[in-house]
Amino acid sequence: MEEIHSIANVRKVKLRTISVAHDLSARPFLDNRKHCDWQRNAWSGLAIILLIASIGIFSWQNLSETQAMQNHIANLEIEKSNLSDKAVQMRAALDAKNNSFASVVNDLQKFETEYHRLSLLLDLTEALGDETWVSDLAINGKDLRLSGFTGKDITDVMSHIQELYWVQRVDLDGPVSFDSFSRRHRFDLSIRLLLDSDVSP
């Protein structure tokens, strides 16, 4: 043993163990593993600590990213809900405006129809003179139906109406009858109107 120690000292090495080869059950003659292996054990422990720390940091980063992603998704859901509410409000406002616009258009159409009727009636009254008066007037698109009484010949009445710039054609819409109470001829006429683009007064 002393010779072995001498050789180790000469070579400046530390003996770790001295034991019988191939006899694992035999107790070593020299066992310095506790003093010789502390650096290796320390490095192994440090490596384990670093591995555990790395796993912990990685897990913490994943947890943080997951939490951030969940928060982002929650914010997006809130924003989606807010946008959906705004869309519903905008749709309701648009529907209200459309209804209001449709009401205005309807009123304008009614006004235009009534104004057109009045304009035609004034033209007819002026063209027919005092011996003829209109009792009923109805307009449906380009068709005008006219009823009235006249002391003139019905052909003269139709001729005066035909001369109006907005008249395309005049036809009798039934027989001419004599009204004994007014002492006038009662007539019904069907008048075809010109389109506005064709009218040139």
Domain ranges of the chain: 2-36, 129-198
Answer yes or no: is pLDDT of 43 > 90: no
pLDDT on residue 136: 87
pLDDT on residue 27: 61
Mean pLDDT of the chain: 76
Topology classification of domain 129-198: Alpha-Beta Plaits (3.30.70)
Q: The whole model's pTM is what? A: 0.42
pLDDT on residue 171: 94
Question: Higher-confidence residue: 18 or 154?
Answer: 154
Contacts of 1 (CB under 8 A, 6+ apart): 18, 29, 30
Task: Give the integer Cα–Cα distance in Å for 145 and 174.
Answer: 11
Question: Higher-confidence residue: 17 or 123?
Answer: 123
Give the mean model confidence (pLDDT) for residues 89-103: 77
Confidence category of residue 199, pLDDT binned at 50, 70, 90: very low
- Reference 188, options 151, 157, 142; nearest CA is 157
- What does the angle CA 98 – CA 100 – CA 105 come to, to the nearest 5 degrees? 90
Report H helices in the chain: 2-10, 33-36, 38-128, 154-162
pLDDT on residue 186: 93
Q: At what angle do helices 154-162 and 38-128 cross, to 10 degrees?
A: 140
